[in-house]
Amino acid sequence: MRIAIAEDMMMVREFYEKVCREHGHEVVTTTPNVSDIVALCITHQPDILLLDVRLVGGDGLNTIRPLRKNVPAMRIVVITAHLTPYVIQRLAQTPVEGFIDLKTQAPTAIAETLTNVGNGRTCFPPYFRQAVHQQRHDSRHFSKLLSAREQTVLGLIGRSMSDEEIAQQLKIAPRTVADHRSNLLHKLQLANTSKLIAYAIQVGIVAQNLIDPFI
């Protein structure tokens, strides 16, 4: 199979290349940069993309929608060592064919996942499917309580940004940010901004690049 690899760490990227080649796959392109992924996949037309969540310049998950549009036959396997509630929620919204958790799965999972996905099957660890199921049935999950814009504001608050800084980044009025902050406190039943910051860190929304450059 023809494999593309998007991974920001060179040592890890080269390890993925080695595993792919040892199992008879052709690595057609690699990149650490989120901005290059779509163009490279259009050019090289890989069968499978190994996609890290955290890349140079942004969030790898933001590329899934344009990849589906521009390279519809390509299958996507997401890899991360940071399986947070926010990442689970994003993957549930933008389905992929496979997922590998670097913290809990053995290195053999890479080859096994490529084989399964290459044969037309999906491949996820059992606890991932369980986590998605739990989120879908949790009425207090943040994805059910907060709009997409509120989730973005929450992530920026989690970085300890002021209303003025958030307003500048999102190109909205500071008063609008203040209203979002107030709504977040109410919807999440939290007492103050410090609690909002702690919550954003807990669910993993702070770590992601919340501004989607592909919109």
Per-residue pLDDT reduced to its tens digit, 100-144? 999 999 989 999 999 999 999 999 988 888 888 888 888 888 888
What is the domain-level CATH number for residue 20? 3.40.50.2300
pTM of the model: 0.83
In the predicted structure, residue 215 carries a pLDDT above the cut 80:
no
In a domain, 61, yes or no: yes
117 shares a domain with 189: no
129 and 199 together in one domain:
no
Is the pLDDT at 36 greater than 70? The verdict is: yes
**Does 147 share its domain with 189?**
yes
Q: Range of 110's domain?
A: 2-136
Of residues 135 and 163, more confidence is placed in: 163
Domain shared by 158 and 106, yes or no: no
CATH number for the domain that contains residue 158: 1.10.10.10
115 and 175 in a common domain: no
DSSP 8-state secondary structure symbol assigned to residue 2? E
Domain assignment present for residue 214? The answer is: no
Instruction: Mark whether 90 and 56 lie in a shared domain.
Output: yes
Examine the pLDDT at 89 and tell me if it is beyond 70.
yes
Query: Which has the closest alpha carbon to 79: 124, 22, 44?
Result: 124
Q: How many Å apart are CA 63 and CA 90, to the nearest integer? A: 12
**pLDDT score of 210:** 54
Q: What single DSSP character describes residue 134? A: H
* Both structure tokens of 81: 């060592």
Nearest one of 18, 167, 168 to 107, comparing CA atoms: 18
Tell me which of 89, 107, 136 is where a domain ends.
136
> CA–CA distance from 63 to each of 59, 68, 179 (Å)?
8, 9, 30
| 159 and 175, same domain (yes or no) | yes
Mean pLDDT of 21-43: 97
Strands 58-59 and 48-52: unpaired
Residue 213 has pLDDT above 60, yes or no: no
173 and 67 together in one domain: no
60 lies in a domain?
yes
| Sheet containing 2-6, strands listed edge to edge, beginning at the edge strand earlier in sequence | 26-31, 2-6, 48-52, 75-80, 98-101
* Count of domains observed in the chain: 2
Query: Under 8 Å CB-to-CB from 32, ≥6 apart: which residues?
Result: 6, 7, 8, 9, 10, 13, 55, 56
- Residue at 215 is within a domain: no
Q: Looking at the structure, tell me whether residues 109 and 166 fall in a common domain.
A: no
Identify which has the larger pLDDT, 83 or 211: 83
Give the pLDDT score at 112: 95
Instruction: Give yes or no: residues 114 and 73 share one domain.
Output: yes
The arithmetic mean of pLDDT across residues 43-64, rounded, is 95
pLDDT score recorded for residue 83: 86
**86 belongs to a structural domain:** yes
Angle at 147 between CA 68 and CA 205, to 5 degrees: 75
Indicate if 164 and 84 belong to the same structural domain.
no
Torsion sign across C-alpha atoms 151, 92, 82, 27:
negative
